[in-house]
C-alpha cells in the first residue's frame, strides 16, 4: 500500500549537510581525500581542467572550467535563469547544462514585499490576498555548490573561490546574493541554502542551492508556504490563504517532528524557534506532541492493515481520523498523505461521497506539495472523477487480493 501513497517531504536547508545532523534521506558522502587548494597541489587544478575540457565540453554560453580545486571547478552561465554560478565537478556541470531553466514564475511584482520582523531580521509579506495553491515564486539558483567542496575545502581557499563565483553573477543577482543574511560569503551559503540534487537522485550529488529571493522567507513550524524542488528548480506554493500584511513563512525542518526535535534542529541554525507552534503554552504543546504521536501510530497501523488481504481490520473512520488529526495540528504543508489514505479507505468501503471528497483534496494537496508530476495525482483525480472505476472501489466487499498487490491506476487495473 505504501507504494501508492507519495509521502515525499522537503527538509533541505543547509545545516542538514553537517555531519550527524541530516534528517533527510541523504547521508553525507565521505571524501576519500581532503580537497586542497590549487597552490598546495601544483598542477592538479590544471590537469583536471584539461581533462574536463576534452571530455565534458559545455555548450555556449557556459564558461569554465576555471579556478579548479581537485575535481571541483567554477562554471558559469549568464543566461541560465538570472545567471548561474556552479562550483562542482565536470560531470555534474554537464548534467546541469542539460537541465531546463524555466522562466521566473510567481506572483506579480508588488504582490509581496520585504520588511523587518522583530527578532528575525528581514522577512517577506503579502501585499494582497494570496490564495491557497498559488505559486509564489519559481526560481533556478544563483549559485550551486557541491556539498563535499563546501565541507572539505580549506576555509581561505573556499572563501576566495566563493567570491570568484559571486563576482561572476550579473549585477542584480550579485546584489541580491550579498543582501542575504551572513557575515562572509561562506556564512551566507550556510544560512541561506537548500539541499539540491542536481541529477534528481536523492542519494547522489548533494549540492547547496542559493535562491536569494526565496531565502528571505523566515521559518515557521506551521508555515503558510510549502516549497518543492525538482532538479534545480525551486517552487514555493501557498498552502493556505494568506492575508495582506501576513508574513510568508516556510519550514526549514520537517514540521511533523515532535517539538523537542524541532527545537533542537533549529538550534543548529543558530536561533531558537519563536514561532507560534514552538511557543505554545505547556498544555497545548503537550496536546500537539500527542497528536503527532497519534498521527504516526495511526499511519503505521493503516500501513500494516493495508498490507493484509482485503485490508483486513481497516475501518473507514481511520481515514477520517487521520485527516482530522492533520488539520487539528495545522499541517497544511503536508496534507497529501492523509487525504490520499482517507480517499482510498473510503473508496474501499464503497463510500462514494467521502471517497470523492477526500480524493479531490488529495489531488489538490499533491499538486501543491509535489507538483504536477506527483506519483498519485492521476490516480486521485480518477478516484474523484469516477470512484466506481477506481482499482480500490468497494474491494472490501469483492476481492481477496491484498491491497498492496493491486495496481495503482485504472489503466493497469483494466489490464488486470
Ligand X SMILES: C[S@@+](CC[C@H](N)C(=O)[O-])C[C@H]1O[C@@H](n2cnc3c(N)ncnc32)[C@H](O)[C@@H]1O
Give the interface with ligand X as residue ranges (CB under 6 A): 119-123, 180-181, 191-192, 215-216, 218-219, 269-271, 273-275
Residue pair 209/194 in contact (Cβ under 8 Å)? The answer is yes
Closest residue to bound ligand X by CB: 121
Sheet holding 135-139, edge to edge: 105-106, 135-139, 233-238, 225-230
Distance CA 337, CA 47 (A): 50
In the complex with ligand X, the residue whose CB is nearer, 157 or 181, is 181
**What is the DSSP pairing of strand 143-146 with strand 84-89?**
parallel
In the complex with ligand X, the residue whose CB is nearer, 215 or 288, is 215
Residue pair 288/277 in contact (Cβ under 8 Å)? The answer is yes
Question: How is 179-214 classified by DSSP, letter by letter?
Answer: TSS-SSHHHHHHHHEEEEETTS-TTS-EEEEE-TTG
Kindly report the length of the chain: 416
In the complex with ligand X, the residue whose CB is nearer, 299 or 332, is 332
Q: How far is the CB of 376 from ligand X (least distance, A)?
A: 31
In the complex with ligand X, the residue whose CB is nearer, 250 or 342, is 250
Q: How far is the CB of 160 from ligand X (least distance, A)?
A: 24
Q: How far is the CB of 170 from ligand X (least distance, A)?
A: 21
In the complex with ligand X, the residue whose CB is nearer, 7 or 272, is 272
- Check residue 397 and report its DSSP letter: H
Distance CA 219, CA 232 (A): 21
Is the peptide bond prior to 65 cis by the omega test (within 30 degrees of 0)?
A: yes
Q: How far is the CB of 275 from ligand X (least distance, A)?
A: 5
In the complex with ligand X, the residue whose CB is nearer, 263 or 394, is 263
Residue 103 corresponds to which cell in the numbers above? 522562466
Distance CA 293, CA 31 (A): 37
Residue 198 corresponds to which cell in the numbers above? 542536481
Q: How far is the CB of 192 from ligand X (least distance, A)?
A: 5
Q: How far is the CB of 274 from ligand X (least distance, A)?
A: 5
Q: How far is the CB of 12 from ligand X (least distance, A)?
A: 12
In the complex with ligand X, the residue whose CB is nearer, 51 or 274, is 274
Q: How far is CA 413 from CA 107, 179, 352, in A?
A: 40, 54, 19
Distance CA 261, CA 52 (A): 44
In the complex with ligand X, the residue whose CB is nearer, 60 or 183, is 183
Query: What phi, psi does 171 have (nearest 5°)?
Result: -55, -45
Q: How far is the CB of 416 from ligand X (least distance, A)?
A: 48
Q: Which residues contact 146 (CB under 8 A, 6 or more apart)?
A: 72, 87, 88, 89, 92, 205, 206, 207
Q: How far is the CB of 182 from ligand X (least distance, A)?
A: 8
Cell 501576513 belongs to which residue? 246
In the complex with ligand X, the residue whose CB is nearer, 123 or 316, is 123
Amino acid at each position: 500500500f505504501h507504494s501508492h501513497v507519495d509521502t515525499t517531504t522537503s527538509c533541505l536547508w543547509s545545516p542538514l549537510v553537517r555531519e550527524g545532523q541530516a534528517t533527510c534521506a541523504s547521508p553525507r558522502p565521505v571524501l576519500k581525500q581532503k580537497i586542497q587548494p590549487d597552490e598546495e597541489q601544483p598542477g592538479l587544478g590544471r590537469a583536471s581542467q584539461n581533462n574536463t575540457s576534452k571530455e565534458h565540453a559545455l555548450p555556449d554560453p557556459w564558461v569554465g572550467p576555471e579556478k579548479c580545486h581537485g575535481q571541483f571547478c567554477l562554471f558559469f552561465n549568464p543566461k541560465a535563469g538570472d545567471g548561474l554560478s556552479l562550483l562542482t565537478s565536470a560531470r555534474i556541470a554537464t548534467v546541469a547544462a542539460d537541465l531546463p531553466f524555466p522562466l521566473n514564475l510567481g506572483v506579480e511584482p508588488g504582490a509581496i514585499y520585504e520588511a523587518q520582523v522583530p527578532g528575525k531580521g528581514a522577512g517577506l509579506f503579502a501585499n494582497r490576498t494570496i490564495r491557497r495553491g498559488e505559486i509564489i515564486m519559481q526560481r533556478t539558483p544563483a549559485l550551486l555548490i557541491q556539498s563535499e567542496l563546501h565541507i572539505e575545502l580549506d576555509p581561505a581557499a573556499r572563501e576566495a573561490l566563493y567570491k570568484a563565483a559571486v563576482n561572476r553573477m550579473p549585477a542584480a543577482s550579485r546584489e541580491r546574493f550579498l543582501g542575504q543574511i551572513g557575515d562572509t560569503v561562506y556564512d551566507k551559503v550556510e544560512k541561506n541554502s537548500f539541499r539540491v540534487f542536481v541529477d534528481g537522485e536523492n542519494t547522489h550529488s548533494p549540492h547547496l542551492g542559493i535562491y536569494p529571493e526565496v531565502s528571505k522567507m523566515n521559518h515557521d513550524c506551521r508555515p503558510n508556504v510549502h516549497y518543492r524542488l525538482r532538479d534545480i528548480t525551486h517552487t514555493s506554493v501557498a498552502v493556505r490563504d494568506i492575508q495582506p500584511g501576513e508574513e510568508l513563512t516556510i519550514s526549514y525542518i520537517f514540521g511533523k517532528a515532535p517539538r523537542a526535535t524541532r527545537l533542537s534542529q533549529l538550534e543548529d541554525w543558530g536561533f531558537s524557534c519563536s514561532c507560534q507552534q514552538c511557543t505554545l503554552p505547556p498544555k497545548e504543546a503537550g496536546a500537539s506532541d500527542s497528536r503527532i504521536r497519534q498521527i504516526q501510530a495511526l499511519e503505521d497501523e493503516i500501513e500494516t492493515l493495508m498490507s493484509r488481504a482485503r485490508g483486513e481490520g481497516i475501518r473507514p473512520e481511520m481515514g477520517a481520523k487521520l485527516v482530522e488529526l492533520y488539520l487539528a495540528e495545522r499541517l497544511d504543508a503536508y496534507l497529501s498523505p492523509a487525504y490520499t489514505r482517507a480517499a482510498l479507505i473510503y473508496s474501499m468501503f464503497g463510500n462514494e461521497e467521502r471517497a470523492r471528497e477526500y480524493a479531490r483534496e488529495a489531488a489538490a494537496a499533491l499538486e501543491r506539495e509535489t507538483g504536477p508530476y506527483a506519483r498519485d495525482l492521476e490516480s486521485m483525480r480518477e478516484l474523484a472523477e469516477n470512484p466506481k472505476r477506481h482499482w480500490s472501489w468497494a474491494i472490501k466487499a469483492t476481492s481477496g487480493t491484498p491491497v498492496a498487490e493491486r495496481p495503482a491506476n485504472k489503466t493497469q487495473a483494466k489490464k488486470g
